[in-house]
Every structure is written in structure tokens, then in C-alpha cells.
Structure 1
Amino acid sequence: MVASVPALVKITEHNVEAACRLTVRPDQEKYSSPVAWSLAEAYAQPEIAWPRLIVEGDEIVGFLMGFFDIEWDRPDDRRSGLWRLNIAAEQQGRGYGRYAVDAVRAEARRRGHDRVYTTWESGEDGPEGFYLKLGFRPTGETSGGQIVAVRSAH
């Protein structure tokens, strides 16, 4: 018997309702936008947004949204990275978050980028430790009050 492995799938008319039902732990809600909100942003900015579901077998275990080639502070400063990450409350601690970060890194490499960025809101029970453990390092910048961090895409 072969164990299933996580996979990324596009959001379609067949899975969008289930995607919107995905929820994080209640203590994480202040640090994470609902999937429906993220999908609305992706719809409004399709040229940069890369929304995907993380599935294992037939089960949706998470949602990620990458961003690619956005203009940051100046026209010559274009960035890519992880915009949103929601891992289902009951699926956390099983490696799906790491899988999501690695998937965005791989897509960034495929598109010719050397670095990936993310942001997080500072807080005692926030995601900072998770991102630091995965190799992200604060740049000293902030965006919308959130810490901006970077790591290699390789």
C-alpha cells in the first residue's frame, strides 16, 4: 500500500466551496485571512496571485497563495513569495506548512526568481517562529504593519 503524498491543485468550481470552509485554529484567525477573502484578492489581481489548495488524497488540508513579480518600492525591485497560508486546524504540525513554502519556492525558481518573501504580523502566538524555522529572515522592512522576511528560493 502506497501512502498518499500532498499535492497542489487549482481552485475550481468543483472545490471552491470546500476551500472556503477551510479554517485555521481560533487563536490564529487574527493572523490569517479567510480563504474566501484571499480568493477575492486573487480574482482582483490574477496577474500576480497564485492560489492553490493543498490536498492529501481526497482531503483539503490547506490553502496557499503565492505572489509573483510584484513591484515593491521601485520599478527595479520586483518580488515574489508567499502571500497567504492557511493550514486546516486539525492538520497542523504534519508538514503541510513546510510543503506550502517549498511549493512557492519551486514555483519562484521555475519563474526565474532567486528569493522568496513573506510577511507576518508580530504576536506571541503568531507565525514568526514557523517562518524563522523555515529559513526566512526579517529584512528590516514592514508592509502594512507586518514584518517582511526573505529566504533563498533554492
Structure 2
Amino acid sequence: MDTPHLAEVTADNVNAACRLAVAPHQRDYVASVAESLAEAYVQPAVAWPRLIYAGGELVGFVMGAFDPNCPIDYFRHGIWRLNIADGHQGKGYGRFAVESVLAEARHRGAAAATVLWKPGDHSPEPFYLKLGFRPTGQVHQGETVGRLPLET
């Protein structure tokens, strides 16, 4: 794996970001980067969108959500979106992205982080379980809520 790093979305890279696509069988499980950026645009105080580069190439997108006063506890600190480009999966970039959001959550004083996933044959559930997230028993709009306690 080339050493990955995060970058903010800018006028210079937004078009490339919007062209980033997951594997075809995953498209029903995650929103496009363009849709995610539109949501980030209307919630700039909450959304934390970042691009993932490795070896000078755009390999993914991650968006954290940080809203410590949200009345819904599983929307306070967590992973809102994760898209690793088709052809770049299985190289550790997704783990890097999740760890980056968790580091930001710790920096903001969060005691736990959450993620939601849609169940199904190509669900990201095994990936999140491998990273330590555990289902809370809650379901939001058909998606399983996973939680990971954070050590500070």
C-alpha cells in the first residue's frame, strides 16, 4: 500500500472527487461522492469531507459527521460516508479512512463513534465489524447502527 493521506476538497480536485466510483455491486450501499458533497455543502458545521490520496492518485473519499449536540446520539460523532474507488479496495485505504475519522472524533472529545450500514450481500458490515464496530440494536431507515467506544 502506498502511504495514504487526507486532503480537503477544493476547486482543484472536486471534479475528480465526483468521478470517483465504488465497485458496481456496491453502488446500492453508499451514496455517490457528488451526493455526499451536496449534503456537506448544506451542513458545513457538521460534515467533515476528505479525499484519500495514495501515490499521488485519488483512491477514496470519507466524510465524518460531528454534531455533539444532536438529539440522536448515533449522529453525534462518526462516519457518514466511505467510498473507496473500484480497483483500490483491499489495500488498507478504507481502514486508514476510518482510523482518520476516529482520530478526529477523539480530538473532538468523543467517547464513541458510530457508523450506519445497509445489510445485504455486499454490505460493508463485515468490514466495520472487523474494525471493532458492534451493532447497537438500533436501526435507522433500514440501516444498522454500529458503535465503537474510543479510548482517549
| Shift, 1:4, TM fit | 4.5
1:6-60, CA deviations, whole angstroms, 9 ceiling, x for partnerless residues? 0000000000000001000000000011100000000010010000000013200
| Residue 34 (1) aligns with residue 27 (2) | no
Question: Could you tell me how far apart the structure 2 residues matched to 1:114 and 1:139 are?
Answer: 15
Question: Could you tell me how far apart the structure 2 residues matched to 1:72 and 1:144 are?
Answer: 17
Maintained 8 Å contact 2:65/2:75 = no
Question: Could you tell me how far apart the structure 1 residues matched to 2:86 and 2:56 are?
Answer: 17
Identity value in percent: 53
**Counterparts of residues 73-152 of structure 1 (less than 5 Å):** 73=72, 79-152=76-149
| Shift, 1:79, TM fit | 1.7
TM-score (norm 1): 0.92
CA RMSD between the two structures = 1.5
Instruction: Give unmatched runs, 5+ long, in structure 2.
Output: none
Output the amino acid matched with 2:95: R
Question: Could you tell me how far apart the structure 2 residues matched to 1:55 and 1:92 are?
Answer: 13
Aligned pairs, how many? 150
Maintained 8 Å contact 1:106/1:153 = no
| Shift, 1:142, TM fit | 1.1
Output the amino acid matched with 2:25: D
TM-score (norm 2): 0.94
Maintained 8 Å contact 2:21/2:32 = yes
Instruction: Give unmatched runs, 5+ long, in structure 1.
Output: none
1:60-92, CA deviations, whole angstroms, 9 ceiling, x for partnerless residues? 000000000251437xx8620000000001000
1:112-144, CA deviations, whole angstroms, 9 ceiling, x for partnerless residues? 111100000000121111110110000011112
Aligned counterpart, 1:44: 42
